[in-house]
Chains A and B, each alone.
Chain A
Amino acid sequence: GQQLNQSPQSMFIQEGEDVSMNCTSSSIFNTWLWYKQDPGEGPVLLIALYKAGELTSNGRLTAQFGITRKDSFLNISASIPSDVGIYFCAGRRGAGNNRKLIWGLGTSLAVNP
């Protein structure tokens, strides 16, 4: 199946640093979702984006729906050790009850205290 291009694949940073990751596609999307997966757990939704250009924050996290509708990015400011995990982007091309999401392969984040 199709996948989104998510980068970077992994990051190792110092506590307090800012983090940026992104997802791109050759296709236009109507919805972008960002999930975080803690080790040994299922993914949990961080931010959902529904409109081109939309910029949404959730605490230290900020995500944007690219104006071309072909990309999205997620920023984490002032990282802390509990930010460790795998971050996934997911997108949906259709409208209404289009049930299938297209997923990125994830960005694995490690934070050095």
Chain B
Amino acid sequence: DVKVTQSSRYLVKRTGEKVFLECVQDMDHENMFWYRQDPGLGLRLIYFSYDVKMKEKGDIPEGYSVSREKKERFSLILESASTNQTSMYLCASSSISGARTGANVLTFGAGSRLTVL
């Protein structure tokens, strides 16, 4: 069964701490994404990557950075966590290959719920 695995399901951090959220996919997908999900706001795109070492800002990149050193791994970094970054973080991946059916469909991980105190 293909998977997107997020290393931490629950994290509690203090304001000012550096936080790493790790995501690994085993589907050889080119594209990877980080979203945050908050009640009433739906899914908001933070950053995405379409190739190793490539990244593009999403809709809410402020306060975040990302790293993609290997095709299968996409990390989200909070350089100095703040309380307004308390949220559910979702990683996803998609493929660019194949016919129209199935291409560009996102597969999500189970999520990482981060609480910043």
Looking at chain A's contact residues, is the secondary structure mostly helix, strand, loop, or mixed? loop
A31, B9: Cα distance in complex, Å: 31
Q: Is the CB of B102 within 8 A of A48?
A: yes
The reply on A1 being an interface residue by CB < 8 A is: yes
Q: Is the CB of B105 within 8 A of A33?
A: yes
Chain B interface, number of residues (Cβ within 8 angstroms): 31
Chain A interface residue number, banded? 20 to 34
Closest beta carbon of chain A to B59's beta carbon, Å: 4
Q: Is the CB of A45 within 8 A of B106?
A: yes
A60, B4: Cα distance in complex, Å: 26
Q: Is the CB of B59 within 8 A of A101?
A: no
The reply on B96 being an interface residue by CB < 8 A is: yes
Q: Is the CB of A105 within 8 A of B31?
A: no
Encode B96-117 as 1/0 by CB contact (under 8 A) with A: 1000111111111111000000
Starting from the known contacts A88-B42, A104-B42, 19 additional A-B residue pairs (CB-CB under 8 Å) come to A33-B106, A35-B108, A40-B111, A41-B110, A42-B90, A42-B92, A42-B108, A42-B110, A45-B106, A90-B106, A97-B30, A98-B104, A99-B31, A99-B48, A99-B94, A99-B104, A100-B58, A101-B106, A105-B40
